[in-house]
Structure 1
Amino acid sequence: MNDRPVVTLPGEQLLPSDGDVDALVRAEHGDPFSILGPHPDGDGLVVRAYLPNALGVEVLERASGRMLGTMEQGQVPGLFFTRLTHPQPYLLKIRWAGGEHVTEDPYSFGPQLGEMDLYLFAEGNHRELARVFGAQPMEIDGVPGVRFAVWAPNARRVSVVGSFNDWDGRRHPMRLRFP
């Protein structure tokens, strides 16, 4: 019998499971939204971001730009986390080798494809697929952006890539949604 006390490292409860992290790093996680972005944790809110090659990340209040916290490194390089005392709109200030970048956290927004859209699509009766799939410019909570949805039943993964993320498919993986 082991009589040694169990030691919990600071921040350990804020980290996702090793299996989730491994799937995220391999770009095979079926629902990155389940571990990235903001999540209530009982003591406040944990915010996680996976930003390969980032040197550091701060969380800023969206309205004022005031720093809310500095994110710590998780289990693997590029996985960052911090705790906020309460839910609020925020931005990520990311430090890269070539400079800093302030951006929205795409994982801070809930599902944008509605249940009725999924139902009608699965039924084969959706009459407005052009407004549902593809890249759709939209504004959510005053934040302009683009919702992207595809029907790719045999894809192992789908990521949104472009010059905004240095064409790195690990940075913006999408969730699988099943009708």
Structure 2
Amino acid sequence: MRSILALDVSATATGWAYGLPGDLPISGVERFGREGSTADETFVRAVVWLNGQLSVLNPAIVAMEAPILTSGGGFTNPHTADLLQGIIHVFRFAVKARMPGRAHLIASSTARKTFTGHGRYGKGAAKPAVQAEAVRRGWLTLESMDPDKADALAVWCHMAAQQLPELSFNQPKTKRPARVADVEF
């Protein structure tokens, strides 16, 4: 199994999830923008954070939710669009500079389909569905719930399911062979 770092990037917060398929992923949220910061200062904080994560976690795969660029897709103004695109670009640059391969861009509907069984939801229904699935799987609790963490876990699950298909929603669980650490002597 190859380790995965998944990112849900937005202009205000970046959710992240990390782990090996089949293990309990860890997750968190980082906020790079500060009151009065320029976009460039935000980009620097973002790339410094990601470089640290790449150094410490050493993931084999980095994936991030692809930005929604259509009308009504969440951009409220040019500044927000610039921040989102800028963070995504510096993240992609950092991954390419440090790792073989590239960062994988995953459509949110594709990640949701793998995670919840449905890619499309009615207005306002997608985030609660993803959050409920994160709780159902035991990856987050109601106390640790954060929408950005839940979205990052959906991206992580999509990439992990490429290696361990039973992580896809409603797939039968196959018995995995015991690892040495799982066997009692």
Quick check: TM above 0.5?
no
TM-score, with structure 1 as normaliser:
0.28
TM-score, with structure 2 as normaliser:
0.27
Q: Name the structure with the higher helix share.
A: 2
Q: Which has the higher relative contact order, 1 or 2, with Cα contacts under 8 A spaced 6 or more apart?
A: 2
Q: Name the structure with the higher strand share.
A: 1
**Larger radius of gyration, structure 1 or 2?**
1
